[in-house]
Structure 1
Amino acid sequence: TSTSSGGGDMLTLTILHVNDVHARFEQSNIYSGRCTPGDKEKNRCYGGFARIRTAVEDHRARLPNTLFLSGGDYFQGTVWYTIHRYKAMAHFLNILDHDAMALGNHEFDDGIPNLVHFLDNATFPVLASNIEDSREPTIQGKYHKSVVVERQGRKIGIVGYLTTETLMIANTGRLDITDEITAVRAEARRLKAEGVNIIIGLGHAGYRKDIELAEKVEELDVVVGGHTNTFLYTGEDPSTEVSVDSYPTVVTQSSGRKVPVVQAYAFGKYLGRLDVTFNSEGEAVEWQGNPIILDNSIERDPFILSELVPWRKELASIIAEEIGKTYVFLDGNRLSCRMRECNLGNLETDAVIHMNTKFPDDMEWARTSLAVMNGGGIRSSIDERASNGTITMEDVLTVAPFQNTIDIVELEGRHVKEMFEHSVVAYDPMALDPAGHFLQVSGFVVVYDINRPPGSRVVRLQARCISCRVPTMEDVQDSAIYKVAMPAFIANGGDGFTVISENKIKHHLTGLLDTDVYSQYIQMLSPIYQGTENRILFIDSDGLCTGMLCLVPQPQRSPMKMFTTPQSDKQENTALTITPILSTLVFALLVVSFSSIAH
């Protein structure tokens, strides 16, 4: 798209970029899960470092003014990272030879020491302009606010940035992360003062923040982002991903300058390509591009394939271990588990309850009857059509790569309610990247009204009794004490759950790894046919309940329709709704329904 006329000394940059690859060292299936032998036979595998390298090196050979950038979050997501951590990551990213990489929040998952080891071994610049590290001396000097590269004799500044949410969702030690816009603006102005007149923002803060940066930081010429797994595309979508806007998204600043913004979905399935032409003053005058789908039409680089072999041998026994079978699709899609009840969330929280039924006493039939987990902790789906439904330990580690322990926290009922209020405090039915603190549950039934202000959205909350001979669902009482099992991450206040960390009466450490709990439960329960069970319900603006039954007082509603439940993988999910007028006719069924959820 031409935006203005340009004079001589034109420079056309080819910007190649990935983001949120999440340890997909090897090729993945169409849903970015495990690529099975059946997928390979049918040429239904995508991405992987070998394909990325082929595509990048092909462009570099043909187009010398190529840049290869990453918007962060290479860490975490498969058994490759779970076992090999920073060592394999640094080794293979060095081979890919980035011109620059932005730090993502998942680069901090295993703490500052692990990240420092990675940075010590990386041979390419890693960027973040908005980190304040005065209280973490071990990381000082290991990363950069920006880097300047040259193409065709022209200086190009690349400024990194990281979402401030990282402080809440990762293990950042004593670092502080400052406002992205303020930091990027300051660094971009410094570069401009040094004669660098082409500035690229490269960061990991989400599509909306990318747009805001492009709008408000007048020095930026291009923004390359990550974090929200946003798929942008011009034309007909090439696979299952649905584009949210054109590629690039063009933002107009108050001065009239136009700034292209790009992301390239996630998991290495696509390689973004943006061609931008700059005039002699460093103004972008023309751009075009689209993500390139990394399918079987792109050969895999033989050197990367050979380098993977010795690392793969160490994973062989883990990858091959069969845990059980599933007859159904276990949905771990982020637009499912971060927005509504998902069957994989049900399976994992039920597994935690099952683990705790091994400790009954004369007063209680289990150590706890209640479990929650943050939807952001569910990282992948398990496809029942892959490998004839076989679930391997690799699948379990891909779904739950964080190696959390399961803790039990005692809370008063009023704080349990506040915990669920936090679950939907930032709920946005149109979110491109829903917040990871949305809770999946076992032993609870929660009804939300998102039309209400944050902090007052829990309309009804029931918990499964534990000091009872026949488990039933009972309304949560403010002063009663409830024992709730949860990942240690949120028990300690992660994902913003300070209501837990600041109000817990007791904190019991089981020491059990979540992956051990899940794998043992799958072995016992196999074959799996877990469904959704109306544990999490939503009231819309007309008093209708998206779920099976919902008998609650119906306050005055706004005439505005609230939302439709988002779908994953282009599959429809119909829900029976009952109007308030009919509610009295189904009261008996309601009691049975709530009680049946207790299993």
Structure 2
Amino acid sequence: MKHLNMPNRPLLNFLLIALTLLLVSACGDSNSSPHRTSVKILHVNDVHSHLDSDNVDLTLDGTTTEAEVGGMARVASLIDALSAENDNHLVLHAGDAVQGTLYYTLFQGEADAEVMNAIGFDAMCIGNHEFDDGDTWLAGFSDQLDAPLISSNIEVAPGNVLEGKFAPYIIKEMGGEQIGIIGVTIAGKTEESSQPSDEITFKDEIESVQTAVDELKAAGVGKIIVLSHYGYNNVQILATQVSDIDVIVDGDSHTLLGDFSPYDLSNSGDYPTMATNADGDDVCIVQAWEYSKVLGELDVTFVGDTLGSCSGTPHLLLGDTFVREDADENDYTVDGDELAAIQDAIDTDDKLTITEEDPTVAAIIADYAQDVDALGETVIGEAGEDLLLSRVPGHDYYGVNLPLGSDITPVVAKAFYEMDPNADIAIQNGGGVRTSVNSGDITYDTAYTLLPFANTLYEIDMYGSEIKQVMEDAIENIAQGGSTGGFPYAYAIKYDVDATQPYGSRLSNLEFKARGSDSYVPLEDGTLYVVVTNSYTAAGRDGYDTFATVQQERGLGTDTYLDYALSFVNYVESLTVNSEQLMKLPAEDHCIKSYIATPDATDNL
């Protein structure tokens, strides 16, 4: 009988066990190492037709310095440079592309659309101000844009002009992986303050995002970005209540994230801000301030369909020219060693980026700027007399010395008061108004030379005692060597100023005139008033500390997003319609009833 040679059984068992472990290990590696996808997100929000750069005061190398900041040509340039670092990149706009400058006044979104198309956005969320001129305007703007508009909580009635003009979300393929981008628009503000028709319904923001998430998940898309125009505080709540979202790129609240405190800019949180979604997974939240001043750069890694990591930089886009004031408060352009010190300070912080303008986008803006410049010569009204500019009463300012201070600054305060029907009182810092207005024609140029900064009208609820305190703060700031530009002027309130008194006792006999009344009554310490000021001082700058502290204690005020120069334009035009001229305030309405200067000529008071 022939015998077959069988393998050694212990050896066979060992080999079978080893093979089994190898297979299990291989399967385990596959499950524990899902595909990693790296995506760079470049984003802006709340540009508001600020295609050009703005002048912003920063503290650089320890000194207040006026810098040229932002502009869409710089945004385009940095997007090109950063996009080259990762083929998987998204360029996103979180809404409010329009409204706020003469580029919109004159071209009604055409200039904004051409610039956006040249940059190449992948998607834009609909912002509340996209509805300011109604459904038909937004439909036309959508037709001009190459980028898709998205919003998941806007419902359009059949047959409306906006039907089919936007989607709740889009799906982008990056490195062979699908990424969903969901839009959401702040509902209440858009319904109440903009002009959507009755055929537009705004649904609950959180519920709408979750519905869109569920649809994407059902379609096999698990990497999800929310592109929102909802506001920084709101999206932090939304993040916790929606499942399966990874990143929120936000707008609406004009929030500056990242630590910019060394440059005297107020920020509201970290870039990125981390939250946890309804599943307990991390969510990255970012926003990029306003007016094309910042380009957000967020690097995201997905591990499978979950956020693995995120980090990034909010780039404050700077020009290479800087202006300071000398000891006599005359402007000069910085050069030499002083300029080198500024550049060294910028080089130490990745958040500060001196950026050249993209020539293609700069040329597009320049073409429109020619017509904007021509519009600047358009007459909007007439000044019936010279309205001279001063800062501190009784002190020389560019050869002007007025016993009760500026003629024009209280008129600017009145313009803001008239343009904001919610306001009880308007307060304007003297340095925010930059020139006298002479008798004769008033043009757009006049208004934008008078008020050249990128400020908006900002409302703060304040008790009478706090209104006195904030103006005391501003005067004390001058006493401590701060700029005379902080001197407080106002409308619908008037007061005596004795600069020889100590801090807290310089203002007295404060009187208030209620809207619609011709008479003044004492300002009541315990009564709550709505104060309108400009967004610069509202942040506590120029010595207006109490503006900041009351918001820290009771919640933020309300940014109307009304451009302050355009508000003055609208005020002058309203005078013209009524055949009235721009005039000094009557003596009984001028905010400074009397002023006593200090005997020390060097303290600026």
The residue type equivalent to 1:275 in the other structure is: D
The residue type equivalent to 2:444 in the other structure is: M
Give 1:271's aligned residue: 295
Contact 1:16 1:273 in 2 (8 A): yes
Q: Secondary structure at the match of 2:255?
A: coil
Given the superposition, is the C-alpha separation of residues 102 and 396 from structure 1 closer, same or farther in structure 2, using an over 3 Å criterion? farther
Give 2:191's aligned residue: 167
User: Does residue 1:472 correspond to 2:519, yes or no?
Assistant: yes
Matched ranges for 1:32-51 at <5 A: 44-51=67-74
Contact 1:18 1:263 in 2 (8 A): yes
The residue type equivalent to 2:218 in the other structure is: A
Contact 2:57 2:66 in 1 (8 A): no
Deviations 1:63-113 (A, max 9, x none): 211111111011111111111112212111111211111111111111111
Give 2:76's aligned residue: 53
Q: Secondary structure at the match of 1:21?
A: coil
1:86 is aligned, of 109, 112, 129, to: 109
Give 1:22's aligned residue: 48
Q: Secondary structure at the match of 2:367?
A: helix
Equivalent-residue separation in structure 2 for 1:181 and 1:265 (angstroms): 23
Deviations 1:6-63 (A, max 9, x none): 724211111111111111111111169xxxxxxxxx8821111100100111122222
Equivalent-residue separation in structure 2 for 1:209 and 1:309 (angstroms): 37
The residue type equivalent to 2:150 in the other structure is: L
Structure 1 unmatched runs, 5+ = 33-41, 330-342, 354-369, 402-421, 430-439, 446-459, 476-495, 497-511, 535-599
The residue type equivalent to 1:197 in the other structure is: G
Shift of 1:472: 2.4
Given the superposition, is the C-alpha separation of residues 513 and 442 from structure 1 closer, same or farther in structure 2, using an over 3 Å criterion? same
Contact 1:397 1:515 in 2 (8 A): no
User: Does residue 1:227 correspond to 2:274, yes or no?
Assistant: no
Contact 1:371 1:443 in 2 (8 A): no
Shift of 1:396: 3.8
Shift of 1:190: 0.2
The residue type equivalent to 1:290 in the other structure is: T
Deviations 1:359-411 (A, max 9, x none): xxxxxxxxxxx9952469x9x9996586899996257479799xxxxxxxxxx
Contact 1:16 1:66 in 2 (8 A): yes
Give 1:113's aligned residue: 136
Give 2:421's aligned residue: 373
Equivalent-residue separation in structure 1 for 2:119 and 2:408 (angstroms): 34
Q: Secondary structure at the match of 1:157?
A: strand
1:182 is aligned, of 194, 207, 210, to: 207
Equivalent-residue separation in structure 1 for 2:190 and 2:98 (angstroms): 14
Q: Percent identity?
A: 28
Give 1:432's aligned residue: none
Deviations 1:181-228 (A, max 9, x none): 000100111011101111000111111111111111112111111111
Equivalent-residue separation in structure 1 for 2:409 and 2:389 (angstroms): 15
Matched ranges for 1:304-315 at <5 A: 304-315=361-372
Given the superposition, is the C-alpha separation of residues 260 and 314 from structure 1 closer, same or farther in structure 2, using an over 3 Å criterion? same
Equivalent-residue separation in structure 2 for 1:240 and 1:225 (angstroms): 23
Give 1:13's aligned residue: 39
Computing the radius of gyration from Cα coordinates, the structure with the larger value is 2
Give 2:222's aligned residue: 197
Given the superposition, is the C-alpha separation of residues 45 and 392 from structure 1 closer, same or farther in structure 2, using an over 3 Å criterion? farther
Structure with more strand by fraction: 2
Name the TM-score, length of structure 1 as normaliser: 0.59
1:209 is aligned, of 212, 234, 238, to: 234
Contact 2:206 2:238 in 1 (8 A): yes
Equivalent-residue separation in structure 2 for 1:314 and 1:533 (angstroms): 40
Give 1:132's aligned residue: 155
Equivalent-residue separation in structure 1 for 2:158 and 2:448 (angstroms): 33
Deviations 1:501-542 (A, max 9, x none): xxxxxxxxxxx953414799895449xxx99779xxxxxxxx
Aligned residues: 403
Given the superposition, is the C-alpha separation of residues 303 and 250 from structure 1 closer, same or farther in structure 2, using an over 3 Å criterion? same
2:374 is aligned, of 317, 338, 342, to: 317
Shift of 1:320: 5.3
Deviations 1:250-274 (A, max 9, x none): 1123542111111111111111111
Equivalent-residue separation in structure 2 for 1:275 and 1:397 (angstroms): 39
Matched ranges for 1:86-485 at <5 A: 86-134=109-157, 137-164=160-187, 165-174=189-198, 175-233=200-258, 235-237=259-261, 239-280=263-304, 282-296=305-319, 297-319=354-376, 326-328=389-391, 347=411, 350-351=414-415, 373-374=421-422, 384=432, 393-394=444-445, 396=447, 443=492, 463=514, 471-473=518-520
Name the TM-score, length of structure 2 as normaliser: 0.58
Runs of 4+ in 1 over 4 A off after TM superposition: 320-326, 343-346, 380-392, 397-401, 422-425, 440-445, 518-523, 530-534
The residue type equivalent to 1:473 in the other structure is: Y
Contact 2:408 2:436 in 1 (8 A): no
Matched ranges for 1:540-559 at <5 A: none
Contact 2:45 2:94 in 1 (8 A): yes
Equivalent-residue separation in structure 2 for 1:67 and 1:75 (angstroms): 21
Contact 1:464 1:474 in 2 (8 A): no
The residue type equivalent to 2:202 in the other structure is: I
Shift of 1:300: 0.1
